[in-house]
Every structure is written in structure tokens, then in C-alpha cells.
Chain A
């Protein structure tokens, strides 16, 4: 007697969950699982959207390893950004957060001003920076010349384009700042007091109290920063086009990416060029799988970090 309604109730509950989850189930299948599997399939094909796909074995992979003229340059550029830009942003965010906690009066206004640039649309921010760092009349080089420094050509110089993008990244550091600031505010005050009573000076307190307490958040900022850098596209693309003075949006954009001399060509940009300017869709699938492998490592680290929240309340 009692078993029948209970199982009906269970079924009702299951159907409710299914109904609520159905958009995500469809979305996951159609926009994630299927394309991942299909990318593996296409990586063994030659396909340009016009003629039907043709099986070519491992030749796309061997082209990646041995013959692609620019892929290694794009990998080096992306790695440069991962190694320099990500730590620089976290360090900078840490320093300004600490400063915001030290100054008491006006820290609300300062915080808002520091955060503001992070809101600027990337295309707009990059255009501003190309103008500011304009070698001849831009304010940055004018300011440097007042100090007697001959400013570099920035976005027109292969050696200075990536440092220019790094400065742009530091300018938009606001989001990292907010999470680090929140973490610093969360450190229990009693810990500092206890450390002080034990005779720890400021440096020691920072090293033994602050750093351990905020390290999960620093780690989180690092991992998400790396994942963001693996898809770094817009700023480098806009800087290249605006600095070269030949911005186009149509099919010609592929040739402008990386200006000057390939120094800003990132890996996802090269994937875009090979896939959607040259229409080597099979080969672009290989590049997508390489990106997948690189990103997966960091996503798994992140999942480890999220373990507590995944478990629920």
C-alpha cells in the first residue's frame, strides 16, 4: 500500500529534476559533448566547408609537429603571456589591495577608481592604449622624454608589443584586485593579534599569517588567469590592427594578426587564421585539441580547488 505512492513520488521528483535540468542537458550534448567528439573526427580529415571531408590519417598532426611555419611562434607568444602577464597581474593586484587596506580615508573612492578600467570594453581599452602609446605624439612617450628617456615604439616594435599588452593587462587588473581584497579582509584579525603578541614583525606576520590565509585565492587567480591567457585574442588582435594602421574586419584580418612581425600572434589567433581565414578546418581541429589538452590540466587543478563547493552546502 505504502510502496506505490512513494515510488510515484520518487518518479515525480526525478521528472522534476529532469525538467529543470533539461536546458543544460541539451546544451551540454549539443554545444560541448558533440563538438568535442566531432573535433577529434575532423582532426583526421581535410575539410574546407566546400568539398566533402576527406580522410587524411595523421597528416594534420604531422603538419602541426613539423611543417606549420608559425604555430611555434604563436605557442611561444602565448607562453610568454602566461609566464609574465599572469603573475604580474596577481602581484600588482596584491600590492594595490594591500595599499587599499592600509589607507583608511577615501579607500572607497580609490577602490572604485582602481576598478574602473576593468569595465572598459577590451576593444575600447586597446584602442585607448594604442593611442596613449603612440610612439611620436602619445602621452606616454612624451612623458618619458620629459624624463630624458627615449621611449620605444611599443605596439610597432616586436620587442615592445607584448610588454605593451602586459601594461594593458595591469591597467585592467580590477577583477583580480576585488577577489584578493575580499580574501585579505577575510583573514581573521585574531591571527594578527596573536602573531603580534608572539613578537612577529610586519614582514613575518605577512609571511606566516596573510600569505597562508590568502593562498587558495592567489592559486585560484593564477589558474583562472592561465586559462584566460590560453584564449587571449581580442587585445592582441585590436592592438595589431590599430597599430599597423590597416584595421579591417572582413577576410583580411588574418593577415594583420601578430603585427609587428608575429610578436603578438597568440595560439588561439593562429587557430582562427588556419581555421577561418584559410579554412583548413581539419588542421584547426588539431590546434583545438592541443588547446584542450593544455587547458584541461588547469581546469582539473581548478576542479580540485572547487571540491568543497561541488560537495554542496
Chain B
């Protein structure tokens, strides 16, 4: 039920009904209001509770984490220091920053011009090119994994994160698609005006379109950064043999394996892996949410 329709309904009741049904109606609507909010708040608690339990557990003693007592009896922020002492957490984070940072930078460098050509130039074969981009974006990465793994093994780059970073120099299908959807929304007049002023296409892109597409570029970069920061499958495939190359995703699972009973420390490590994502999101959520909607079809 939407607001406009329920308002309309009450209008009609008020016009046609006597005062008594009106009061009954108001009572019913009040009860409905209570029910809606109870469900909405209960859901909010369910969505947030796991994160809260994680944070609370990360401050407990190891012993308490194994009990069904969920509020820390004493607070132990030193758990977060201990995580860094037990495993090379700093190294994992550095590897993750390197992977996510380079992949994102390379992606922007290579994907922006492609998206520009797909969105703002007209040429034969354009729609076929776009179909291929969508196929690359949607088909599971496991489909092409065997020959690619063999290729990277021949280059002697397995055991590192380079097989996951370098391909971004040649465009990332999802980013190209997302950027293209954004670039389509900029009116053609801006480009035309620049062309009349004698700009070539590169200048149009750099001087006119790119400054207008800053939120789009930010959103796309964020998607890429999150994807790579969270990536577990890729590093497991290419880097699991070399602990020095592990990003935080692999490090977390390994931590849990090596410190079976230390749920407090495992949760502390989990907090460390999660916080950067929440912080980045807090700063740029509007662009991010718009980005999610641009990936879809129109309703």
C-alpha cells in the first residue's frame, strides 16, 4: 500500500461515512501503524545484531567468547593488538590495499575510454561490442579459469596477486558497463559544443565529460575496490600457495584455522577486515546506491 492510495481511501470514508466508522477506521490504522513499526524495528534488530555480536565478542576474553554470555564482562581492546602479533595481519592488509588499489587504478585507466566509445561515439558494430561486454560481465569467471590459470603459471605469476591485478589494464567488463550507463545520461549538447570549439574526442572526454562524470567514476571505483577487497576465490586460486601474498580474505580464514578456540580474536580480525568497507561506504553512499540502480533494468 502506498501513501497516496491510503490517503485517498480515508478521504472517501470521511466523505461517505458517519463519524463512528471514521473513529473505528482511525483506530484500525493506528494498530496497523504499530504493527508495521514493530515488524520494521524487529527486522532492523535482526540485520544489525550479527554485526553487534561480532563487535562485542571481539572485546571479550577468549574464555567468555565460548560461553553464552554476550556482553563483555571486561573489555579487552588489546585483542586487536594481539591479532597483529599472532599473524602477519599488517602484511595481509597491505596486500589487500595493493590488490584493491592497483586493480581499481588500472581499471579506471583502461575502462573509461572504452565506456566513452560505447556511450558517446556512434560506430558500426557498437551494439555487438556492448553485447560482448555484457556477456563477459555476466558469465561466471570459472568458465575461463583453466586456460587462464595455465597461462599465468607459464608466466610464473601464480603465487602472487598479479594474475588478478594485471587483467584490469585491459578493461573490466562490469566497470565498462556501469560507466557506459552513467555516460549515456550526459546530454549530447555538451560534447557537440566542445567539438565545435575544436576539441578532439580525447579532449572532449578529458575536459568535458570526465569532470561531469566524477560521481560515476567514484561509484565505479568503489564497486571495484569493494569487489577486490572482498575477493576470496581469486586469491585462493592464484595466491594460496604463498602466504606472503595473502590478502585479508585468505588471512581471515587462515586465522580461524590456526586459532580454533580464539573466537574473540577471530572476531577482532573480522572487525578489522570489515571496518574499511563501512568507512568508505559512509563517505560515498549516495553515489554507490545510484550505481546499483544503474546496473539494472528500468522498472
Contacts and interface: CB of A to CB of B under 8 A. Distances in A.
Majority secondary structure, B binding face: helix
B148 A249 contact: no
Contacts of A189: 2, 4
B142 interface: yes
A309 B257 contact: no
B209 to A, nearest CB: 12
A28 B140 CA distance: 15
B273 A295 contact: no
A102 B1 contact: yes
Given A30-B170, A123-B249, A292-B139, A248 B43 contact: no
A303 B297 contact: no
Contact of B233 (A102, A110, A233): A233
B121 A16 contact: yes
Contacts of B40: 99-100, 103, 110
B283 interface: no
Contacts of A121: 229-230, 248-249, 273-274, 277
A183 B299 contact: yes
Interface stretch (B20-28, B77-85, B211-219, B234-242): B234-242
Interface residues of A, number: 117
9 contacts: A21-B117, A23-B113, A110-B43, A110-B44, A123-B252, A217-B297, A249-B243, A268-B140, A275-B149
Nearest first, the 4 closest Cβ-Cβ pairs linking A and B are A247-B257, A27-B170, A183-B299, A38-B147
Given A275-B146, A302-B138, 20 more contacts: A23-B111, A23-B113, A23-B169, A24-B111, A32-B132, A35-B147, A39-B143, A42-B150, A119-B277, A121-B273, A129-B50, A131-B263, A137-B67, A178-B292, A196-B5, A216-B298, A247-B253, A249-B257, A288-B143, A292-B143
Interface of B: 1-5, 8-9, 36-37, 39-41, 43-44, 46-51, 53-54, 57, 66-68, 70, 110-111, 113-114, 116-118, 121, 123, 126-127, 129-136, 138-151, 153, 167, 169-171, 176, 181, 184, 200-202, 226, 229-230, 232-233, 236-237, 240-241, 243, 246, 248-250, 252-254, 256-258, 260, 263, 266-267, 270, 273-274, 277-278, 281, 285, 289, 292-293, 295-299
Interface of A: 13-14, 16-17, 19-21, 23-24, 26-28, 30-32, 34-36, 38-39, 42, 47, 49, 96, 99-104, 110, 112-114, 116-117, 119-125, 127-129, 131-132, 137-139, 142, 171, 175, 178-179, 182-184, 186-187, 189, 192-193, 196, 202, 205, 213-214, 216-217, 220-221, 224, 227, 230-231, 233-234, 237-238, 241-242, 245-251, 253, 268, 271-272, 275-276, 281, 284-285, 288-289, 291-292, 295-296, 298-299, 302-303, 305-306, 308-313
